[in-house]
Structure 1
Amino acid sequence: MGAFKEPHGGELKELYLPEHLADEEKIKAKDYPSWDLTPRQLCDLDLLLNGAFSPLEGFLNKADYESVRDGMRLVNGVLWPMPITLDVNEDFAGSVAEGDTIALRDAEGVLIATLEIEDIWAPNKEEEAEKVFGTTDDTHPAVNYLFHKAGSHYIGGKLRGVEVPTFYDFKLLRDTPAELRGKFRKLGWRKVVAFQTRNPLHRAHQELTFRAARECEANLLIQPVVGMTKPGDIDHFTRVRCYEHVLEQYPEQTTTLSLLNLAMRMAGPREAIWHALIRKNYGCTHFIVGRDHAGPGNDRDGNPFYGPYDAQDLFKEFEEEMDITMVPFKLMVYVENKAEYMPADETGPTDKVLNLSGTEFRRRLAEGLDIPEWFSYPKVVEELRRAHPPKHKQGFTIFFTGLSGSGKSTIANALMVKLLEDGSRPVTLLDGDVVRKNLSSELTFSEEHRNLNIQRIGYVASEITKNRGIAICAPIAPYAKMRRQVREAIEPLGGFLEVHVATPIEVCEERDRKGLYAKARAGIIKGFTGIDDPYEVPENAEIVIDTSELSPDLAAHRILITLEKHGYLK
């Protein structure tokens, strides 16, 4: 498939300064304004500096950003489909100016690079979402990031790299484009087909990739993403251990594994072009494009964001210009009567085809049910079971929200006692007043400080959940955005159930022993939730309880039943 060609020999734009200049830049950077990179920005910076994003020489300036957004090309006409932007908050944007140089630091304060500012601007995020991702629906993970997490302003400019970002995991599997090109040359690999994945590999994937390499008469690069993938994906530590097991199933000397520190956008067709250009920079000649490649699933109405073959169609449009050959993904199925995997379009009417969907596989994993050997390798299943135990062994968070006096704390205490009686996991209660006293005593009741308080509660709950305990949170949590952030932080780690204690405000006022509502109505207390500060009612809480109609004991029992129904209690 595809004409024979040498591995990509285009110029790599490695942006690291020579050592003596890097040392000089570190000294100068002490006087520069500093920006602490977010996890996504650190992924982008890593691939900018090592040349994986060639021909980019920094975060896009305004003209290149608009050109890429509108037409998938840099101002100079070079194909590039994804805006690579440095987003910052309004305060930082206002503290620097065009022509300034800023220091870019990792989470520990280590200087990674400096950037000379060419442009500072506030983007039209709705326009960016529509043009780049084809939607403004924030159930799309990149749109959600753009609207709810990204800073309000972008800074563009050229980079000077001074320090390679430190990653302590799987160091021997992390290659720069130059290193991987050198490895291919040393091994004599003239044609290389790359396989992109963010999921564990099972038997069908092994058969697919092996066949693709054989048909192309090429060697195989398995290059999974270990930066940022779709929220809820299996963590990369588990996945890499799985990949190493699957690597044993390929013929020796034909296949290699290398990790890509990419922050995916799940942008479907544009992302397929982006992935191909990155693999070309790594020296690959062929690239496997899957059905619904890099698609994030369905929108809020249940419809796919992208068509199943949109990515392949767009790739064909630019294939010659990119000079990397597409290998279309073939759906592989297991044929029981032949005891082998085959392309679905090659099966006959008498063949008995067995199928296990991804949804069914995850269900069996979550419930500890049998997974057939024809579907996956025993070592892979063992790794996945170890990292993702059945629900009744996972941690979870019960997050109460409701007005002051609604009964949250009372129900939470009753629930805690019942869960302690069960004894299956350690239980921690993060009550609003207790958290205020022990974690947030310096905070006021301004919106900013309320949000910070909920962030702290969410962080502690996420750590408890990750370590397979039970966290019960009972703050007021009046703002939907913060509740959503807590959910998004915890759901990848275990269970999350939101309980809206929807007791009417009139009942809450009647119960008010401290007289807070009366003081708020008299103007003595300002910014009181439900009086002169809004309470945003949850739209999708798993449980809604009105304590004017239900006792705390019955409310706690109802939550236990819901936990049993979801599989978190046996």
Structure 2
Amino acid sequence: MSLTIKLHDCHLNLLNNNHLGISKPKTKVPNLKLKFRTKPIYHSDPLLSVVYNSTMHASSARPPQSAVIKSSLIDPDGGALVDLVVPESQRAAKALEAEALPKVRLTKIDLEWVHVISEGWASPLRGFMREDQYLQSLHFNSLRIEDGSFVNMSLPIVLAIDDETKERIGSSNNVGLVGPGGDLVGVLSSIEIYKHNKEERIARTWGSTAPGLPYVEEVITPAGNWLIGGDLEVLDRVKYNDGLDHYRLSPRQLRKEFDRRQADAVFAFQLRNPVHNGHALLMNDTRRRLLDMGYKNPILLLHPLGGFTKPDDVPLDVRMEQHSKVLEDGVLDPETTIVGIFPSPMHYAGPTEVQWHAKARINAGANFYIVGRDPAGMGHPTENRDLYDPDHGKKVLSMAPGLEKLNILPFRVAAYDTVEKKMAFFDPSRAKDFLFISGTKMRAYAKSGENPPDGFMCPSGWKVLVNYYKSLQTEEASQQQAVLST
């Protein structure tokens, strides 16, 4: 016999500030298998789907002592990870097939999406979206899968082509994909070509059609007027040969590493900026809270975004060098931290995009996701304000369809405590003692060579940033001198 009960207000907050609320019934019902589902919880509570069996064990909460710890902490969307790389024994034949097909040339950012799709970050998606998938993503932020359930898919993952390419494809059912360097990348089969309504795509993804949106300017505005979808097969794993490929762990590789480390919880933190001590405080505090819940070995997935970013963001290679210094200096514990690169391009689409960031980490095996102020947001490109409400990202994650199995961890605001001389959680009762150092302010410090307050960032990590901005200034001076000389 089974009974499903929806929990609304019955929450046992195991941690301070409701950061990791777990719901348990107050009374036991003998001989019944009960499934409890939480109502969406807003702003400061995680959205948890807690399941109890007849022994009243909470599968989302304290792990049983006898449990075998595997990477199945959280199932990938659709139940199985997608891997679209052609087996080595079949690659020669597939390359011959691709060579004979009409070709679609990929941009650098198109190739980043090939990388994302082929490794299963977008599971269960198996290629660039056909029109029905595109419309579901654009209008519902989710896809209905074969069993009738929904998975989150808040960003359209599409491939644009121009009129000339469409004409060249003609009636062919399959096309070969060619990388920016002219190399064969793979095959898109059983294709569908449909209209690329750019204005609708931009308005629904960003909630704005203001000029100056970075991804729009870089990718969508110059793109063709058609979208082509189909099933993707990739001839070999995407490599960038930039000295950072060893950081680009696929979802399958990450799950194996979580197994190797015997993780009983994995909490993911995405960022596109250098790690300062406020970030570290947050990540270390999250691990402490998970330990307080009863987990024995929570593992941090420090997962910087590695695809397209806007020009004024710190480049990936500099960020990765800075992250390594944070680990070397012991600000984060290397034994309980995995650093990997998330290959997705950045949209800066706020609450819409943060759902994609969370969904992708489900496929990588993370069952907790940290979200903070204005995730995936940016300043309005033409007005002096934020493009999105800073609190909407975490609110949307608590309600987003398809993310119910992921525990959302909104974090407390950290700032520089001028009394304690360190980064600390903001205390409103003594607000005057705290200094907020924005990313813009941090970059201004680094550009000028001025040191931030002691305790803001580990010294070796800060030196990486200062050296980067010095090299930029030297390069700019050289270019200016060359212009004057001519």
Which bin holds the TM-score, normalised by the shorter protein? 0.7 to 0.9
Q: CA deviation at 1:252?
A: 4.2
Q: CA deviation at 1:59?
A: 0.1
- Specify the SS of the correspondent of 1:158: strand
| TM-superposition CA deviations, 1:478-532 (whole Å, max 9, x none) | xxxxxxxxxxxxxxxxxxxxxxxxxxxxxxxxxxxxxxxxxxxxxxxxxxxxxxx
- What residue identity is the alignment partner of 1:363? A
| TM-superposition CA deviations, 1:129-174 (whole Å, max 9, x none) | 1111111112222332354222221111111121112222223222
Q: 1:305 to 1:252 in 2, by over 3 A?
A: closer
- What residue identity is the alignment partner of 2:290? C
Q: CA deviation at 1:243?
A: 0.4
Aligned match of 1:303: 385
Aligned pair 1:337/2:403, yes or no? Answer: no
Q: After the TM superposition, which segments of 4 or more aligned residues of structure 1 sit over 6 Å from their partners?
A: none
Name the TM-score, length of structure 2 as normaliser. Answer: 0.78
Q: 1:220 to 1:428 in 2, by over 3 A?
A: same
Partners of 2:279 and 2:235 in 1: CA distance = 39
- What residue identity is the alignment partner of 1:370? N
Aligned match of 2:310: 230
Asked if structure 2 preserves the Cα contact closer than 8 Å seen for 1:335 and 1:341, the reply is: yes
Asked if structure 2 preserves the Cα contact closer than 8 Å seen for 1:191 and 1:219, the reply is: yes
- What residue identity is the alignment partner of 2:278? A
Q: 1:16 aligns with which of 55, 73, 85?
A: 85
Q: 1:286 aligns with which of 368, 375, 380?
A: 368
Asked if structure 2 preserves the Cα contact closer than 8 Å seen for 1:199 and 1:234, the reply is: yes
Asked if structure 2 preserves the Cα contact closer than 8 Å seen for 1:52 and 1:177, the reply is: yes
Aligned match of 1:202: 276
Aligned residue pair count? 404
Aligned match of 1:182: 256
Aligned match of 1:41: 110
- Specify the SS of the correspondent of 2:193: strand
Asked if structure 2 preserves the Cα contact closer than 8 Å seen for 1:292 and 1:306, the reply is: yes
| TM-superposition CA deviations, 1:2-34 (whole Å, max 9, x none) | 533752233101112222222211112221122
Aligned match of 1:164: 237
Q: 1:108 aligns with which of 181, 197, 201?
A: 181
Q: 1:427 to 1:265 in 2, by over 3 A?
A: same
Asked if structure 2 preserves the Cα contact closer than 8 Å seen for 1:36 and 1:106, the reply is: yes
Aligned match of 2:124: 55
Aligned match of 2:206: 133
Aligned match of 2:34: none
Partners of 1:255 and 1:197 in 2: CA distance = 15
Partners of 2:81 and 2:171 in 1: CA distance = 27
Asked if structure 2 preserves the Cα contact closer than 8 Å seen for 1:81 and 1:271, the reply is: yes
Aligned match of 1:554: none
- Specify the SS of the correspondent of 2:389: coil
Partners of 1:319 and 1:427 in 2: CA distance = 55
Aligned pair 1:220/2:294, yes or no? Answer: no
Asked if structure 2 preserves the Cα contact closer than 8 Å seen for 1:140 and 1:296, the reply is: no
- Specify the SS of the correspondent of 2:303: strand
Asked if structure 2 preserves the Cα contact closer than 8 Å seen for 1:112 and 1:164, the reply is: no
Partners of 2:350 and 2:74 in 1: CA distance = 24
Aligned match of 2:352: 270
Asked if structure 1 preserves the Cα contact closer than 8 Å seen for 2:159 and 2:229, the reply is: yes
Q: 1:242 to 1:350 in 2, by over 3 A?
A: closer
Structure 1 spans left out of the alignment, 5+ residues: 397-423, 430-469, 473-570
Q: 1:29 aligns with which of 98, 112, 118?
A: 98
Partners of 1:380 and 1:200 in 2: CA distance = 8
Q: CA deviation at 1:188?
A: 0.5
Q: 1:189 to 1:229 in 2, by over 3 A?
A: same
Q: 1:369 to 1:391 in 2, by over 3 A?
A: farther
Q: CA deviation at 1:205?
A: 1.0
Which of 1 and 2 has greater Rg? 1
Q: CA deviation at 1:97?
A: 3.5
Partners of 1:147 and 1:229 in 2: CA distance = 15
| TM-superposition CA deviations, 1:452-497 (whole Å, max 9, x none) | xxxxxxxxxxxxxxxxxx797xxxxxxxxxxxxxxxxxxxxxxxxx
Structure with more relative contact order (C-alpha pairs < 8 Å, separation 6 or more):
2
Q: CA deviation at 1:183?
A: 0.6
- Specify the SS of the correspondent of 2:335: coil
Q: 1:354 to 1:70 in 2, by over 3 A?
A: closer
Asked if structure 1 preserves the Cα contact closer than 8 Å seen for 2:161 and 2:225, the reply is: yes
Q: 1:111 to 1:146 in 2, by over 3 A?
A: closer
Partners of 1:120 and 1:324 in 2: CA distance = 34
Asked if structure 2 preserves the Cα contact closer than 8 Å seen for 1:174 and 1:258, the reply is: yes
Q: CA deviation at 1:350?
A: 8.7
- What residue identity is the alignment partner of 2:268? A
Asked if structure 2 preserves the Cα contact closer than 8 Å seen for 1:193 and 1:221, the reply is: yes
Partners of 2:381 and 2:269 in 1: CA distance = 26
Q: CA deviation at 1:303?
A: 3.1
- What residue identity is the alignment partner of 1:48? I
- Specify the SS of the correspondent of 2:457: coil
- What residue identity is the alignment partner of 1:388? Y
Partners of 1:338 and 1:368 in 2: CA distance = 24
Q: 1:75 to 1:254 in 2, by over 3 A?
A: closer
Aligned match of 1:7: 73
Identical pairs, percent: 26
Q: 1:426 to 1:319 in 2, by over 3 A?
A: closer
Q: 1:365 aligns with which of 411, 426, 446?
A: 446
| TM-superposition CA deviations, 1:423-480 (whole Å, max 9, x none) | x777334xxxxxxxxxxxxxxxxxxxxxxxxxxxxxxxxxxxxxxxx797xxxxxxxx
More helix by share: 1
Partners of 1:166 and 1:358 in 2: CA distance = 30
Q: CA deviation at 1:251?
A: 2.9
